[in-house]
A and B are shown apart, each in its own frame.
Chain A
Amino acid sequence: MKPSVEQIENLLALKRDERPEEGYWQDFLCEFHHRQREEATAKSGLANLTDRISTWLSDLGPSKWAYGAGLAYATVTVAFFLTPRGAEIHNGPTTPVNYQVVPAPAPTVEQLEELDLSPSTQGSAGEQVF
């Protein structure tokens, strides 16, 4: 006998009361805050770097445009030389093809055999009689 759908549902409903073990959420919160702090530190490190770069750029004054233009020119030049020119055609490995030229059997012997060279007919095969 199979359990009815209602019985299955009742059995599943018992799982609503499942809880993690005692004290789980306190540990969870500690770890959560620890992770958040670490992430904030990492972010602030990145933010510091960005700040320092922007400060350095602003300290440069009008010459920053010259530096910027030079950097852009260098980037374009490097990109130009590094860009591949069209697609290269790569030949795949060659597959040896076994073409064997079978020489036709030389018919010479047969032709000779076919010729009637007996003394009685001598001279009748291909010989001109004058």
Chain B
Amino acid sequence: MFRQSRPPDPDQDLVTRAQQGDTRAFDALILKYGDKLYGLVYNMTSHKEDTHDLLQDIFARAYQSLGKFKGKSTFYTWIYQIAINMTLNFLKKRKRRTGISLSDPDTNVQQDPSMVDTTHEANPEQQSSINELQIKLNEALKKLSDPHRMVVTMFDIQGIPHAEIAKVLKVSEGTVRSRLHYAHLQLQSALQESWNERF
């Protein structure tokens, strides 16, 4: 994803079929990229129902706009951009509507087992410590501002390079690095206490 000199879009065939009205081809694209987009949206909204509704809207928007997709980027880059824009707009609207800030206490995400990774092999005691740290991490992530949370989600969780994040968010690479640095400092401070207890 997001390479300067990219090879042909691996989804070209599916996209062409979907553009011709093949709904199964679009279903295949949803299944292929659903998890990645779910991770992006859920880490930003911290709310399962919101994530679900937003993903429905994102894929619907992509489906309706498929005719406008000319293949200047990969399909994944294109739909990822749609997801970012719609998520940021949604967060703005949600704040205006309810006055909810991500820094407000919300027990959804930090207690959500699906947000705590349990796939890594470790002894039970170590795993328990990691789980607790993950819960603290989720709490700390929620306290970051939307722009800081977005760069952390994209860089640290989704593994997207700085330059591509800058391009997608339409900011300079320096801004991305600066936001990331600040966010890491915030997370370090937030985890300090738990880290002392565990290690």
Given contacts A28-B56, A35-B60, contact A14 B191 (CB under 8 A): no
Q: Name the distance in Å between A125's Cβ and chain B's nearest Cβ.
A: 84
B55-A28 in contact (CB<8A): yes
Main secondary structure of the interface of B (DSSP, over half): helix
Contact of A29 among B30, B35, B133 (CB under 8 A): B30
A18-B115 in contact (CB<8A): yes
B159-A3 in contact (CB<8A): no
What count of chain B residues pass the 8 Å CB interface test? Answer: 39
The stretch of B6-14, B92-100, B163-171, B182-190 in contact with A is B182-190
Contact of A9 among B23, B156, B192 (CB under 8 A): B156
> Is B86 engaged at the interface, CB distance under 8 Å to the other chain?
no
B39-A2 in contact (CB<8A): no
Q: Name the distance in Å between B62's Cβ and chain A's nearest Cβ.
A: 11
> Is B152 engaged at the interface, CB distance under 8 Å to the other chain?
yes
CB-CB contacts of A10-23 with B at 8 A, as 1s and 0s? 01111111111100
Given contacts A15-B157, A16-B157, contact A1 B117 (CB under 8 A): no
> Is B59 engaged at the interface, CB distance under 8 Å to the other chain?
yes
> Is A99 engaged at the interface, CB distance under 8 Å to the other chain?
no
Within 8 A of A (CB), among B96-141: 114-115, 117, 119-120, 130, 133-134, 137
A11-B134 in contact (CB<8A): yes
List chain A residues, Cβ under 8 A from B52. Answer: 28
List chain B residues, Cβ under 8 A from A3. Answer: 188, 191-192, 195
B117-A12 in contact (CB<8A): no
Contact of B60 among A2, A7, A12, A32 (CB under 8 A): A32
B56-A12 in contact (CB<8A): no
Chain A residues in contact with chain B, CB under 8 A? 1-5, 7-9, 11-21, 25, 28-29, 31-33, 35-36, 39
* 9 chain-A/chain-B pairs, Cβ below 8 angstroms: A5-B188, A11-B130, A11-B137, A13-B156, A13-B157, A16-B159, A20-B38, A28-B56, A33-B23
Chain B residues in contact with chain A, CB under 8 A? 23, 27, 30-31, 34-35, 38-39, 42-43, 52, 55-56, 59-60, 63, 114-115, 117, 119-120, 130, 133-134, 137, 152, 156-159, 184, 187-189, 191-192, 195-196, 199
